[in-house]
A and B are shown apart, each in its own frame.
Chain A
């Protein structure tokens, strides 16, 4: 009996070791290895499917590995003291730590939830295409456009307004232009966005997709003469709405010398790199 007990002891110890090893392995390969029931080796192991991974959703969602600096951080070309811009940048970073402002471009579809001052406690959610991003520093704005009940609606949101609860990017993409104001004169199908649209997943690395869509316009007159070279619009299908003679007539307002004007040059590459490194450092603290 003593010999059997000793052998039993060794057996139990070895079992315990095996279980510990199993447990250790589980910690590393929990999804791939299916857990065995804490039973004996004689019976066939009961299959328990692996547990689903728990996703911890923090406010700072997956930060983009692309190097993207929001355009409102770049100071305009003025004779201002750089101290003023650095103080504004500190405030902007403080706000960004609370509200996660994702990367987006004019042409991407966003959903914004904002607290309403006239209806206390209620939050309004608006979904639309971003047509333009304007302003520098704390006063940066973006305009979202959508068509609701056959009525076009544009709302200009301030990025750093404290009433904004959440900004979600439903679809991240770029268009051929920075300013999509011509969507007001385009056919309504190009500005409609489904309010209950599901977010289109996009990996944090890789290029932002460029949507080379050429938009069809309503008949003239338009709100602005979009064919003129000063707007430099690539995203309208001019062949369907304008005759080549009209296009040539529009070229009369071209100012080809502006391209060579050295006083209008504003090279932001070094400033951008500096500010980007500064912002990334502050955000990671």
Chain B
């Protein structure tokens, strides 16, 4: 048993992991062959033109395009041309592929959907049922899969890679991720209650919720009453985050402000739902950014207001 799994209890008894009935040589061979196969698969998918790509439509009013799955790297400061400092989160798009296309009738009758997967992960600790859809798409298995509701003209063939250049600087974006889990927390941390004073005769009551409702008339506690419980580890969305910079070499997006989730967690990024931050000014790549179409973009794409460090110091005249 490897060192990392010494204290763990096995809960899934239906499937067997690949190592259980193999000798050590065979295990090593399996690992090597799987890794080579996935590298070959990703290399194939880089040029989707080779195998009958789907029809690409033009952007129309009211069409929605796909989003991306990215990994949160960390935060850094950024300065504008007027000298103001803003904090920025760096999100890296690692191996993002479209896995399945669900046309309108299959999904819900109103909109089509695309299933997109993020970060690559080893196939040996996932079940066969999970591996099935990746096998159909010809793509290595991913850590996170999400569905994006998409208009009919933005459907993409399963297997196409998605890059960070799909978003441009100046666009606004919503980021959804699982917030950091805090465990079972009291009412002051979870809901921001004020608690009770620390002194002046308080007996054993400093962080308690206090009263739980009106009194004799309802004679009950309403459903949804804020009480202590498990906090965090739920999906939270941050809306209207501006993109300051896109690095096309490493596929990194610099997104304004903070984003839910811990470092190295997988997030879902999509175009804003907010009506005041729609991207009518810019012409984003629709349905997505293809390397053969738009050719060579500069390594770094900056927003107009951003101060780039290769420029001379600001004199603010």
On A, residues with C-beta under 8 Å from B are 78-81, 83-84, 87-88, 91-92, 94-95, 97-99, 115-117, 120-121, 123, 137-139, 158, 160-165
Contacts and interface: CB of A to CB of B under 8 A. Distances in A.
Contacts of A120: 316-317
Interface in B281-317: 307, 309-317
A105 to B, nearest CB: 23
Nearest to B249: A87
Chain A binding surface SS class: mixed
Contacts of B311: 98, 162
A91 B309 CA distance: 6
A81 B92 contact: yes
A81 B251 CA distance: 14
B250 interface: yes
A84 B313 contact: no
Q: Please give me the 4 A-B residue pairs with the lowest Cβ-Cβ distance, nearest first.
A: A94-B309, A84-B73, A95-B309, A162-B314
Contact of B79 (A84, A98, A115, A162): A162
28 contacts: A79-B264, A81-B71, A81-B73, A83-B73, A83-B92, A83-B252, A84-B74, A87-B247, A87-B252, A92-B309, A95-B309, A97-B310, A98-B309, A98-B311, A98-B313, A115-B316, A121-B315, A121-B316, A121-B317, A138-B76, A139-B77, A158-B77, A161-B79, A161-B83, A162-B83, A162-B309, A163-B83, A163-B313
B246 interface: no
Contacts of A78: 263
Interface residues of B, number: 26
A79 B247 CA distance: 22
B314 A163 contact: yes
A117 B80 CA distance: 12
Contacts of A137: 76
A263 to B, nearest CB: 17
Contacts of A92: 309
A41 to B, nearest CB: 55
A3 B82 CA distance: 82
Contact of B73 (A80, A94, A115, A117): A80
B99 interface: no
A76 to B, nearest CB: 11
Contact of A116 (B71, B252, B264, B316): B316
A116 to B, nearest CB: 7
B76 A115 contact: no
A161 B85 contact: yes
Contacts of B98: none
A272 B82 CA distance: 35
A162 B74 contact: no
B216 to A, nearest CB: 54
Given A121-B315, A165-B313, A83 B77 contact: no
B208 to A, nearest CB: 33
B81 to A, nearest CB: 8
Given A84-B73, A87-B250, A139-B77, A94 B310 contact: yes
